[in-house]
């Protein structure tokens, strides 16, 4: 197999054709036909059928392209690339990361069934599980310690159909033990879905550790430039109709017209095929081909960006851990992190570039830092080439109770960083400026020097 950087530029997944790359009349001489090196953008709602049989073949067997809501050559090319990088059998590109999570889950659970998730997942996904899916009769349970397989085992109910977690939780950085959780899921015949947005396939490929389905917000690191939205579902291709058919009968039952089941037609790819044929086109989170193209462009430099961002994030985290204004740093790359052993096992090439740290001075100090920095951008996004900062307690986690926020490691003085590709000295200088403002704000609020206390962070060796 070729290396990751080579695959991110050249790879196509087996069994699917990058349709439409050649241009020119179908009967033109080879010298008159043009094959573009970059993926073309097929910005069209539909595709013309050249003959009667072609239309029948599409609607009968799913051959070719007819309407962008059900497939597009530009989108298909990006799907192939992502599937190859994740080590999956196939992928489905959607309009956003939240659409990817929703479509993946709706392809596996139905009314009366349950999703078992790690409690430290992204707040938007948590809201989906607590507020939206229950209206469809789908309930959720949560596991506080995602690294403890026994906790997952205890929480499984007869109605559970999916185990869901993030490879690097946003934003606590409390890593799960992927292989152990996969073993628990498979012992019950259940599907493990992993959100791999923060790790990216460059740092971690969950399929290699037993994940059945992988989802991404492609708006983040895969795109990298913060310009477009997109999401993707990748399937491992390991669906076993004989072993799992009773738990997922919609995949093995005959079609509504009495025809072959999804599993009969697609074998191990039944889960992804069901999403592509039945869930995504009917709920309609169709991505723009232009957005797919731009995500594909970003993927070609994924390894370069993620390696640089992860290395810089580690240095920033180490620097913050020594600052007297900082109470704690939650980053799995630090020796002091409870997740450091798992990070060495699952993330040897880098621990990602999104993490939180907490200031002694609480919310006034956090506000002062955010308003003082100039290189870090204050916005709700991650995975950008630009470094970003956000105050979770007043933004992404504002709907949680104070007790829920504290349990999730989100305190009044907690800030989330997403480290970009800027020069490290500039990032450090910017945070130094911010910490000076934070210290002054904390002193003014408390009437005493903000660094009078002792940091709760165990200091790292340089």
User: At CA 217, angle to CA 213 and CA 244, rounded to 5?
Assistant: 15
Question: Where does 173-301 have alpha helices with state H?
Answer: 178-187, 200-203, 241-244, 249-252, 262-266, 270-274, 280-283, 289-299
Q: Which secondary-structure segment (H or E) carries 157?
A: none
Task: For residue 168, give both structure tokens.
Answer: 């690097």
Question: Where does 373-415 have alpha helices with state H?
Answer: 402-407
Q: Tell me what pLDDT residue 457 has.
A: 38
State pTM to two decimals.
0.91
Q: Tell me what pLDDT residue 377 has.
A: 97
Q: Which secondary-structure segment (H or E) carries 118?
A: strand 114-118
Block means of pLDDT (10 residues each) for the chain, 462 residues, are: 89 47 47 69 90 76 82 94 96 98 98 97 94 98 96 98 96 93 98 98 98 98 96 97 94 93 96 97 96 96 98 98 97 96 97 97 96 97 96 89 87 96 98 97 74 37 32
Cα distances (angstroms) measured from residue 189 to each of 56, 247, 334: 37, 8, 36
Q: pLDDT tens across 52-107, in order?
A: 877 777 776 667 888 889 899 999 999 999 999 999 999 999 999 999 999 999 99
CA distance 82 to 436: 43
Query: Do 273 and 239 touch, CB atoms closer than 8 A?
Result: no
Residue with tokens 């939180």: 356
Q: What mean pLDDT value characterizes the chain?
A: 90
């Amino acid at each position: 197999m070729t290396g990751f950087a080579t695959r991110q530029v050249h790879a196509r997944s087996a069994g699917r054709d990058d349709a439409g790359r050649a241009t020119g009349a179908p009967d033109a001489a080879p010298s008159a036909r043009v094959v573009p090196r970059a993926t073309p953008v097929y910005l069209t709602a539909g595709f013309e059928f050249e003959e009667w049989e072609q239309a029948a073949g599409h609607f009968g067997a799913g051959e070719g392209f007819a309407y962008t809501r059900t497939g597009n050559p530009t989108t298909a090319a990006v799907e192939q690339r992502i599937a190859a990088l994740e080590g999956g059998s196939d992928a489905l590109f959607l309009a956003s990361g939240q659409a990817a999570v929703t479509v993946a889950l709706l392809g596996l659970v139905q009314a009366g069934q349950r999703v078992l998730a790690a409690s430290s997942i992204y707040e938007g996904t948590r809201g989906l599980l607590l507020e939206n899916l229950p209206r469809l009769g789908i309930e959720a349970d949560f596991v506080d310690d995602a690294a403890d397989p026994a906790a997952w085992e205890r929480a499984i109910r007869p109605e559970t159909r999916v185990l869901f977690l993030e490879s690097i939780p946003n934003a606590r950085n409390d890593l799960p033990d992927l292989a152990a959780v996969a073993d628990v899921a498979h012992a019950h015949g259940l599907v493990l879905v992993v959100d791999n947005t923060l790790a990216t396939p460059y740092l971690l490929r969950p399929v290699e550790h037993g994940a059945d389905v992988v989802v991404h917000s492609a708006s983040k690191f895969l795109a990298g430039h913060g310009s477009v939205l997109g999401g993707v579902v990748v399937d491992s291709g390991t669906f076993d109709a004989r072993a799992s058919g009773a738990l997922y009968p919609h995949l093995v039952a005959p079609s509504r017209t009495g025809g072959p089941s999804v599993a009969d037609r697609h074998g191990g790819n039944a889960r992804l095929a069901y999403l592509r044929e039945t869930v995504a086109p009917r709920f309609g989170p169709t991505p723009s081909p232009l957005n797919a193209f731009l995500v594909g462009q970003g993927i070609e430099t994924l390894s370069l960006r993620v390696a640089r961002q992860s290395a810089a994030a580690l240095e920033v985290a180490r620097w913050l851990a020594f600052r007297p204004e900082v109470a704690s740093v939650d980053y799995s790359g630090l020796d002091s992190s409870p997740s450091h052993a798992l990070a060495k096992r699952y993330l040897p090439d880098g621990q990602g570039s999104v993490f939180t740290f907490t200031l002694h001075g609480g919310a006034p100090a956090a506000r002062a830092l955010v308003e003082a920095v100039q290189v870090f951008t204050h916005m709700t996004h991650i995975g950008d080439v630009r470094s970003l900062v956000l105050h979770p307690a007043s933004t992404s986690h504002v709907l949680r109770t104070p007790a829920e926020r504290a349990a999730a490691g989100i305190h009044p003085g907690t800030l989330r960083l997403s480290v970009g590709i800027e020069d490290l000295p500039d990032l450090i200088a910017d945070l130094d400026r911010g910490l000076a403002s934070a210290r002054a704000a904390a002193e003014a609020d408390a009437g005493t020097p903000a660094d009078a206390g002792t940091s709760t962070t165990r200091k790292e060796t340089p």
